[in-house]
A and B are shown apart, each in its own frame.
Chain A
Amino acid sequence: MYAISQALCALRHHLTSTLATFTTSLVSFTLLFLLGLVLWNLGKVVSSLEREVEIAAFLKPGSDVSALREQVAAFDEVLEVRVVSKEEALAQLQLSYPYLSQARELIENPLPNTLRVVLKNPNQVRAAARKIERLEGIESTTYGGEITEQLLKVLGGVRLAALLLIGLLLLDTLFSVMGTIRLSIENRREELRVMQLVGATRRFIQGPFVVEGLFLTLLASLAALGLGLLAYRFLAAALQQLLPFLPVLGTNDLLLAAGALVLLAVVLGVGGAYLSSRANLKESDL
């Protein structure tokens, strides 16, 4: 109770510093929360794309289609194999490009017989494609995962940049909290000397500062949650109207993210205040 009342007093006492730290924390936490949600959402999009990945194995002319089908179907990672004959493939192509029907009479069907392979685990697409390619009678393979892989690479880069930015912002928040606590200590230097003089334990002395740091970041994180959730809901609604098939984060995901942010705020507030008070409270001050 004493620590809480002292912390509130200190926050009021140096209002400018309090507001500066609160604003820094608010900006950091809001950006962190939003960036985190966007990255998580992008991850979900990539996962859903991965689930739809399929390998197309093109057969050499004259290969035994059913034998190859059975060979591929026997692989552990394969879930399903479907044969698309060269005629079927051409018919599908003509559906997309009707003018090709005129050329059909002039040239022989150039398309190969194809095996369409669905995997149990889409992450194995690259390895499975190589394995299929090595079979006698397979000309080449292709899979939509190439785009997914490109996306993952881009996403990795974006994630790294975002993490760097977030890291810097969090560091800024930590130092800001430490600065505010240092100011608090300076304001109460006289009182702290008396405390040490009469035998206050370190916990008793540091308690109000730790509570002060906690208040600052906790309040900032709650405000950031409000802003972040509002912004995300707006973004998600707009995105779903534009691309309804794209997945967005559910309530449970948002709650989890909110919990993580609050936890981080607590760690930063308490940690920053503890470090600052430890560094600035010297025995020689007595």
Chain B
Amino acid sequence: MKSHIRLTPGFYTAAMIGFHRVTLEYARTQTKALYDINFEIKKGEFCFLVGHSGAGKSSLLSLLLKRLEPTSGAIYFGGENLRALRGDRIALHRRKIGVVFQDHRLLKDQTVEDNLLFALRVLGVPKAEWENRVTRVLRLVGLVHKKRSFPEELSVGESQRVAIARAIIGDPPVVLADEPTGNLDLTNAITVLEILKSIHARGATVIVATHSRELVEAYPQRVLVLKAGQLVRDDRSGKYSLS
């Protein structure tokens, strides 16, 4: 089955993110995770990536992070073909992407503040900026008062908000969220979505992989639908419903 989405040649140069006939096959198991994927996402767009478990959402995000190499096709990020990236250029590419996972991946033996400082140190941000940045992102996620808490002292929702704070502390132009509300109740899920919306409102390109109907309906935006590794729909109507 071929993808329904077709793009004009050279589309990727104008887009923030571009997938051009991307196929991904896991060599070890010889299973195809993605088939002939084509789409573009413009700078500042908010986009949901929906599909059931195993549809290929995480694989697609892994390709964007250059954790995986496509078997064929090309992925463009800011006009640059990711295939050309080698060595430290991969690390520099990742600095342009803030990532949030379902399992937040906070360092358990470090406080909220230290988790954020850890990211700043890795990013090479000058020390003079650390305090301001930490306060700014904690204010955005509403957790200034939890600065000295350890992850085990936080609720699941709060942990996820810290993970978002860490993802955006380096001011990346793109934020990827892989099932960010998977472990959250509806109230917390909506809080997380509100934070992602405010990040979007500040100009970032945001991609949220989810299978939560509530989330998609709470913020009507573009929806890319993956089914068994294929991009079957690119809905820009704002009326897409998972049901």
A239 part of interface (Cβ distance < 8 Å): no
Interface string of B80-110 (1 = CB under 8 A from A): 0000000110111111000100000101100
Q: Give the complex CA separation of A28 and B118 in angstroms.
A: 38
Check if A286 sits within 8 Å of B65, measured CB to CB. Answer: yes
B170 part of interface (Cβ distance < 8 Å): yes
Q: Give the complex CA separation of A202 and B94 in angstroms.
A: 13
Contact residues in A for B90 (Cβ distance below 8 Å): 283
Chain B contributes a number of interface residues (CB within 8 A of A) equal to: 21
Check if B67 sits within 8 Å of A199, measured CB to CB. Answer: no
Check if B67 sits within 8 Å of A286, measured CB to CB. Answer: yes
B121 part of interface (Cβ distance < 8 Å): yes
B119 part of interface (Cβ distance < 8 Å): yes
Interface string of A190-202 (1 = CB under 8 A from B): 1101111111111
Residue of A nearest to B90 (CB): A283
Check if A198 sits within 8 Å of B122, measured CB to CB. Answer: yes
Q: Give the complex CA separation of A168 and B90 in angstroms.
A: 39
Check if B122 sits within 8 Å of A193, measured CB to CB. Answer: no
Residue of A nearest to B65 (CB): A286
Check if A197 sits within 8 Å of B105, measured CB to CB. Answer: yes
Q: Give the complex CA separation of A203 and B118 in angstroms.
A: 16
A2 part of interface (Cβ distance < 8 Å): yes
Assuming A197-B94, A199-B92, is B122 touching A204 (CB within 8 A)? yes
Interface string of A203-218 (1 = CB under 8 A from B): 1100000000000000
Q: Give the complex CA separation of A110 and B92 in angstroms.
A: 93
Q: Give the complex CA separation of A197 and B118 in angstroms.
A: 12
Residue of B67, B166, B170 ringed by the most chain A CB atoms within 10 A:
B67
Check if A194 sits within 8 Å of B91, measured CB to CB. Answer: no
Contact residues in A for B123 (Cβ distance below 8 Å): 198-199
Contact residues in A for B99 (Cβ distance below 8 Å): 197
Within 8 A of A (CB), among B106-133: 107-108, 118-119, 121-123
Check if B107 sits within 8 Å of A196, measured CB to CB. Answer: no
Check if B94 sits within 8 Å of A283, measured CB to CB. Answer: no
Check if B87 sits within 8 Å of A198, measured CB to CB. Answer: no
Check if B105 sits within 8 Å of A193, measured CB to CB. Answer: yes
Check if A194 sits within 8 Å of B95, measured CB to CB. Answer: no
Q: Looking at the complex, which one of B87, B93, B121, B122 makes contact with A202 (CB distance below 8 Å)?
A: B87
A241 part of interface (Cβ distance < 8 Å): no
Q: Give the complex CA separation of A198 and B90 in angstroms.
A: 11
A229 to chain B, nearest CB (A): 41
Q: DSSP class of A's interface residues: helix, strand, loop or mixed?
A: helix
Q: DSSP class of B's interface residues: helix, strand, loop or mixed?
A: helix
Q: Looking at the complex, which one of A193, A200, A284 makes contact with B91 (CB distance below 8 Å)?
A: A200
Q: Give the complex CA separation of A191 and B109 in angstroms.
A: 10
Check if A283 sits within 8 Å of B67, measured CB to CB. Answer: yes
Residue of A nearest to B167 (CB): A198
Assuming A283-B67, A284-B67, A286-B65, is B166 touching A198 (CB within 8 A)? yes
Contact residues in A for B122 (Cβ distance below 8 Å): 195, 198-200, 204
Within 8 A of A (CB), among B36-81: 65, 67
Q: Give the complex CA separation of A195 and B121 in angstroms.
A: 10
Check if A199 sits within 8 Å of B95, measured CB to CB. Answer: yes
Q: Give the complex CA separation of A193 and B119 in angstroms.
A: 12
Q: Give the complex CA separation of A230 and B154 in angstroms.
A: 58
Contact residues in B for A284 (Cβ distance below 8 Å): 67
Check if A2 sits within 8 Å of B95, measured CB to CB. Answer: no
Contact residues in B for A197 (Cβ distance below 8 Å): 94, 99, 105
Contact residues in A for B105 (Cβ distance below 8 Å): 190, 193-194, 197
Q: Give the complex CA separation of A2 and B122 in angstroms.
A: 10
Q: Give the complex CA separation of A201 and B123 in angstroms.
A: 9
B155 to chain A, nearest CB (A): 20
Contact residues in A for B91 (Cβ distance below 8 Å): 196, 199-202, 204
Check if A194 sits within 8 Å of B118, measured CB to CB. Answer: yes
Contact residues in A for B93 (Cβ distance below 8 Å): 199
Contact residues in A for B94 (Cβ distance below 8 Å): 196-199
Q: Give the complex CA separation of A191 and B93 in angstroms.
A: 19
Q: Give the complex CA separation of A203 and B91 in angstroms.
A: 10
Check if B88 sits within 8 Å of A201, measured CB to CB. Answer: yes
Q: Give the complex CA separation of A197 and B93 in angstroms.
A: 11
B97 to chain A, nearest CB (A): 8
User: Which A residues have a C-beta under 8 Å from some C-beta of B?
Assistant: 2, 190-191, 193-204, 283-284, 286
User: Which B residues have a C-beta under 8 Å from some C-beta of A?
Assistant: 65, 67, 87-88, 90-95, 99, 105, 107-108, 118-119, 121-123, 166, 170
List 10 A-B pairs, Cβ < 8 Å. Answer: A194-B107, A194-B119, A195-B122, A198-B119, A199-B91, A199-B92, A199-B95, A199-B123, A201-B91, A204-B122
Q: Give 8 new A-B contacts, CB below 8 A, not counting A190-B107, A199-B170, A284-B67.
A: A2-B121, A190-B108, A191-B118, A194-B118, A195-B122, A198-B94, A198-B119, A200-B122
